[in-house]
Structure 1
């Protein structure tokens, strides 16, 4: 309905724009941007926004980079205007001066993106625009201010208060199930049999949707209803595994969380999703006692190999270095003697990595940052919890349980947010190696 409304407004506006400008067509993206920012009418603005969105979609890769360069250079905030507003505030620190300063600091491209959003399908176009911008950023740090504006806008537009929690099951539209198959990145599905098993009676899948993108899941979580806190992923995703009775389950295991749209990277969605799903499951299954994840440790292998390459690293003992050399041997995880020798060493080092290795005062591992920041407790490190090629490559098969204790979530979140404290169980604490020096 929203798309239909904006389409009709844009259609009416196109005639107004053509009537005002005659037969002249806008030949450049620059003129479209200028006209969109200067127009005051809703209909003509929607028509110009649609033209700009369509023009962007037709651009080559080189033209898009030029477009982003233009936004970075020509649509930044005016320093002279900012300084004048600062001086005015010094002279008169009134609410009116604060508002003037805020407006001076806002970049013209910020308003340009807002107006582009009035095009039919504008929100989808801007999310896709940011996806393409993110791909350029590693080589184009000069474009980071443009991304900052987009991130700011999308964070507001995709506020969890605007989102709808929906359960996905086997009766969901086929187009949605196809996207579910495609977007699953943590534990990829090979065929419909995999998908059907993950939507069976003892499984749940929930997703967030936005009214501007009603057919596009933003993020989804897969849950297994089981007995006891799961420590291995293969039984949970095996399409041949027998379907259990969800009514007899005492644990809900969150085993896969997937962000679907790259353009929303960094826009916080997952923490609200998990908390809402916990509340929903608690209503449906009041006998559930445990809510926990079975999570990957995607940065562990890279960190450990980097540490091994540093002969001065004191975290790894000399004797352990000799044992860890076995990790370079294909199939090491199928050698019982090697497995037994490596278990204690790798679990200790993983505990150190998750608890003590930091970046900007927060855990180095991205999955740990997410769950600990969300109020979970680092509960258990599971040996050979994922023996897939991906699991062995990322973390030598280790998986982690982060436990969501409904009575402690907010306390844990506050500790992590305010002090950076990582809340851990006694089992994980017992694994931590003694600190050198």
Structure 2
């Protein structure tokens, strides 16, 4: 067992470096020419679910820090160093024409999920490792085949579940024996458990198996965005999510990530950053520099790859623009012990952990660490995007609203008139707004920006405070719902908070501050979850307007 465990560690390590490995021989019987449905196996191993782009060769112009943060920048040096030594590991020309034998794959998975087979732990581990090796070697099309076979053919057997249900109902009617009833319940529960559940359990026991499953679920989620009606795949993803939530308890370590952290860890920050793109090594160095912090949760089986991480800026006041945080600090050597605010401006997790609530625990742990390290910090606040605001606004600007603007936004007559005057021929402020945001170059006209500010901020506050997810009391905006469920207060809507292309495309540049008032977090959480009540801090006039429109749904601290 020890030998097989060491072999698995070496296998997964080489897989993640992008190299071929001797353990591929364990699953070689599955990769051969076949008349069965097949897919091509690529000669390079590259994970498709981690939002990783193919890297460019690093340009050595004397300023490496300005180069793009790509995987090849980290790997290329070591790949060149071991090129001669690892020539035996390189795939042969025949492997380019190799195909996946679906029949052999089906047989391998069946061997793993068959709980009644007479096989030992070593054999089970080797079979599970062979399955992982094969999956890692596949390209995107091959992984779709793999996941489709797993979710459709190794789900819950309907016949066995029906028979178990009938036996359970019969036992309830005919027997009063508690032991017999308990046995029937156990049989029914086992029959309702999908077969692939056993495969996930076996993989999780492998060294590095947890990280493999996180990446595999990332592939599931990516495929679900393409095949939205694939119910079996969605069911498999949901089951794996619940397993990951269970397995992750008690296995996470909080670590601060600095510029001196391993290069592979810093590389992951660029790969998984989904809010404010990391453009270069210099960019990430600024985010890890003076007055900045980055913390992450690491699984103990993968100590160099953060599962979830958060970026923090230490400032003298609540920040209203992310460009001011991401740019060069005005006083880079300013004492962090003079800062008054900790601004959480981006939180990210691996795609495969979508739906697993780690961000809540991470923020709470980081607040505790910062309070112990810097007691001068009094305010813990976010600078958050409104990722679906523009999509909502486009739907809200219906022909009816364009002709007859609703009166529940709270705009003054002067604010409406100022916006109408910016568009000759416009009869309503909604029509004027639609014309401006649909036109090119509206961000470069200062007069347009002045007229648009009160209108867009009012709409943003209304969207955050009053627009609910269908049939619920929860905020429609996913970021707002996340922070409000965590007990934060709606604090301020910021015009021109994110002037990047992505920020303008998603929210017309709006950002929002959510304030974590520490002695009110639990009460805020309870009121929001139970009643949909949104706690408000600060004195933002646009949020005050929205509160007047829906007074029963909000509360002032």
Indicate whether the TM-score tops 0.5: yes
Question: Structure 1's 182 and 239: CA in aligned 2 closer, same or farther, altered over 3 A?
Answer: farther
Q: Is the aligned partner of 1:64 residue 2:143?
A: yes
Find the counterpart in structure 2 of residue 80 from structure 1.
162
Find the counterpart in structure 2 of residue 230 from structure 1.
319
C-alpha RMSD over aligned residues: 2.9
Instruction: Note the C-alpha offset of 1:217.
Output: 0.9
Cα shift readout 1:235-294 (whole Å, capped 9, x = no counterpart): 1110353223210011111111122x2111111111100000001101111121110001
Find the counterpart in structure 2 of residue 430 from structure 1.
544
Instruction: Note the C-alpha offset of 1:349.
Output: 0.8
Counting only pairs closer than 5 Å after superposition, residues 38-437 of structure 1 correspond to structure 2 as 38=114, 39=117, 40-59=119-138, 61-77=140-156, 78-84=160-166, 86-87=168-169, 88=171, 98-138=185-225, 139=227, 140-142=229-231, 143-159=233-249, 161-239=250-328, 241-243=330-332, 244-259=334-349, 261-312=350-401, 316=406, 319-324=428-433, 325-360=435-470, 361=472, 362-425=474-537, 427=540, 429-432=543-546
Give the distance between the partners of 1:59 and 1:177, measured in 2 at CA: 26
Question: Structure 1's 119 and 347: CA in aligned 2 closer, same or farther, altered over 3 A?
Answer: same
Partner SS, residue 400 of structure 1: strand
Give the distance between the partners of 1:82 and 1:281, measured in 2 at CA: 54
Q: Is the 8 A contact 1:347 1:431 kept in 2?
A: no
Find the counterpart in structure 1 of residue 97 from structure 2.
none
Which residue of the other structure, out of 30, 46, 51, is the alignment partner of 2:106?
30
What is the TM-score normalised by the length of structure 1?
0.87
Cα shift readout 1:299-355 (whole Å, capped 9, x = no counterpart): 111111121144258764673213312223333334332222211111111111112
Question: Structure 1's 170 and 25: CA in aligned 2 closer, same or farther, altered over 3 A?
Answer: closer
Cα shift readout 1:7-38 (whole Å, capped 9, x = no counterpart): 35899xxxxxxxxxxxx956611111121123
Give the distance between the partners of 2:9 and 2:341, measured in 1 at CA: 51
Partner SS, residue 133 of structure 1: helix
Of 333-342 and 90-99, deviating more is 90-99
Please tell me whether Structure 1 or Structure 2 has the larger radius of gyration of its CA atoms.
2
What is the TM-score normalised by the length of structure 2?
0.70
Give the distance between the partners of 1:85 and 1:241, measured in 2 at CA: 73
Partner SS, residue 218 of structure 1: strand
Instruction: Note the C-alpha offset of 1:65.
Output: 3.1
Partner SS, residue 208 of structure 1: strand
Instruction: Note the C-alpha offset of 1:207.
Output: 0.6
Cα shift readout 1:64-85 (whole Å, capped 9, x = no counterpart): 3333333333322243145146
Instruction: Note the C-alpha offset of 1:149.
Output: 1.5
Instruction: Note the C-alpha offset of 1:165.
Output: 0.6
Give the distance between the partners of 1:333 and 1:25, measured in 2 at CA: 60
Instruction: Note the C-alpha offset of 1:423.
Output: 2.2
Question: Structure 1's 96 and 402: CA in aligned 2 closer, same or farther, altered over 3 A?
Answer: farther
Q: Is the 8 A contact 1:282 1:288 kept in 2?
A: yes
Partner SS, residue 213 of structure 1: coil
